[in-house]
Amino acid sequence: MEKHELKVQKIKEGTVIDHIPAGHALSVLKILGITGREGFIVTIACNVPSKKYGKKDIVKIEGKELKVEEVNKIALIAPTATINIIKNYNVVEKYKISVPKEIVNILKCTNPSCITRSEREPITSKFKVISEKPVRLRCVFCNNILELEDIEKQVSEKY
Amino acid sequence: MRLKGRDVIEITDLTRDEIEYIFELANKMEKFAKSKCSLLKDKILALLFFEPSTRTKLSFEAAMLRLGGNVIGFSEPSTSSIAKGESLADTIRVVENYCDGIVIRHPLEGAAKLAAELSNVPVINAGSGALSHPTQALLDLYTIYREKGRIDGLNIALVGDLKYGRTVHSLAYALTYYDVNIYFVSPPELRMRREVIEDLTKANVRFKEYFEFKDDVLSNLDVLYVTRIQKERFPDPAEYQKVKNSYKITLDLLKKCKHDVVIMHPLPRVDEMDYQIDSMPNAKYFIQTYYGLLVRMALLYAILGDAPL
Ligand SMILES: [Zn+2]
């Protein structure tokens, strides 16, 4: 049994997000829109020893099965994460997250003269993923490229 | 080939075959370019210029009128409801009810794309932001094709402001469809944008960047595409003076080129070329505007016309 299992108890039903890069668990929750006020039990473990990555974060969400599209949004900051769907204390489904083809409404275009930056317009930002490792995005409207560092900066400022 | 109802936002929205279909149509438009026809009779084109550009607007207007159609619109946001704070989105949703097609010019990047997403009538981008100006790219390509008889196999230099000049960006993308050698010649401050360089590399286009004219490049050129270097781009006026002269096209410089090098310019120009060049057979920048009329007539007819020509 791995060491972290002693710190974070097994859950009966829900979702475990494992192998989150250390220190990013809170950002992951925020991207998923989980505030802690929803009522279900959320357990967060940060800087847990990991054989593969040295240190990692883990998030356990009880009573909520996250949908794939929902979870893939976290690929922006936690591309190494794995998802375990738990039913009756057993892992019934396990998968690595994958970067979605499009990122809608999460990030802001860094080009100040992009139409998506105009407050007057009823428009949501939209980016095409042009590379996954590292993640690079291209604004659908102005073609401006967001590099990983732009993405990380925005996510850490926003979340 | 069917282009009816299509939006043209980026030059890459068209395939090479579609571009060449438009060229064929443009050739056919020559007989209508000096007198009116009724190919687009009863059609209304809205010209929405959120940023002034007299030349482009006149060209679209003339193209539509020569085809027997009608135009509505505005030339500056200050004369429209935009000045009162109306969004682009609302303007589009109102104007689409009055017309069969929309031509839009806007200072913000992606504005034409947004307009196309909202509009039920086709949208043609007449320049938005610093990167896209597809109809200019079409007319530039058409000029090369008319003057050289081909585009494949040519050596083409893009000179001047390669950072802010939207025509050079669209033209560079248009050239990715062809087997050409491109030379970018600019001051280091105004070199070709990284995202364009990246896309050209991905498309396996052969290009090189230069910060000055090299004799061996000049002697190879088939096309010299010159753009204006704007004073406002330089914080230091002295720096501008220095830079301006090193990219000027002079008679001496032309002596180093092939005798039949084609000189193009998207206009307006200031003093980036010696005026004596105007009378040389190499100067194609005025006929370029005529080709622009033909290309815009062709594009409008392809998008709004009811039957193939
Ligand atoms: Zn953008």
Cα–Cα distance, A95 to A85 (Å, whole number) = 9
Q: Ligand 1 centroid to A111 CA: how many Å? A: 6
Which residues from B are below 8 Å from A142, CB to CB?
Answer: 108-110, 129, 131
Ion ligand 1 — residues with CB under 5 Å? A 109, 111, 114, 139, 141-142, 144
Q: Which residues of A5-40 are buried (b: 16+ CB within 10 A; e: fewer)?
A: eeeeeebebbbbbbbbbeebbebbbebbebeeeeee
Q: Is the pLDDT assigned to residue A4 strictly greater than 60?
A: no
DSSP state of A112: T
Please state whether beta strands B223-226 and B155-159 pair in parallel, antiparallel, or not at all (unpaired). parallel
ipTM score assigned to the predicted complex: 0.84
Cα–Cα distance, A10 to A62 (Å, whole number) = 10
Cβ pairs A/B, distance under 8 A: 55
Closest CA to B106 of B60, B57, B50, B53: B50
Which residues from A are below 8 Å from B130, CB to CB?
Answer: 113
Question: Is B62 exposed, middle or buried (CB count within 10 Å of its CB: 0-12, 13-18, 19+)?
Answer: middle
Q: Say what the pLDDT of residue A153 is.
A: 85
Where does A102-158 sit in CATH, by number?
2.30.30.20
Q: Ligand 1 centroid to A110 CA: how many Å? A: 7
Cα–Cα distance, B111 to B122 (Å, whole number) = 14
Q: Is the pLDDT assigned to residue A77 strictly greater than 90?
A: no
Confidence label for A1 from pLDDT (cuts 50, 70 and 90): very low
Confidence label for A6 from pLDDT (cuts 50, 70 and 90): very low
Which residues from A are below 8 Å from B107, CB to CB?
Answer: 113
Q: Where are the domains of chain A?
A: 14-96, 102-158
B151-to-A155, B20, B138, B148 alpha-carbon distances in Å = 46, 11, 12, 7
CB B55 within 8 A of CB B75: no
CB B165 within 8 A of CB B41: no
Cα–Cα distance, B167 to B132 (Å, whole number) = 7
In percent, how much of chain A has pLDDT > 70? 93
Residues B110, A122: C-beta atoms closer than 8 Å: no
Per-residue model confidence as pLDDT tens digits over A19-33: 999 988 988 898 888
| Chain B: closest CA distance from residue A116 (Å) | 8
| Contacts of B164 by beta carbon, 8 Å cutoff, 6+ apart | B130, B190, B230, B233
Spans of chain B, pLDDT less than 70: 79-84
Closest CA to B72 of B40, B111, B43, B93: B43
CB A127 within 8 A of CB A140: yes
Which residue intervals of chain B bear CATH 3.40.50.1370?
11-132+292-304, 134-289
Q: Say what the pLDDT of residue B245 is.
A: 82
Confidence label for A159 from pLDDT (cuts 50, 70 and 90): low
Q: Both ends of chain A: CA-CA distance in Å?
A: 33
- CATH topology for B11-132+292-304 is Rossmann fold (3.40.50)
- CATH topology for B134-289 is Rossmann fold (3.40.50)
Up-side HSE of residue B275: CA atoms within 13 Å toward CB? 2
Please check whether the domain covering A14-96 is classified as CATH 3.40.50.150: no
Cα–Cα distance, A36 to A30 (Å, whole number) = 10
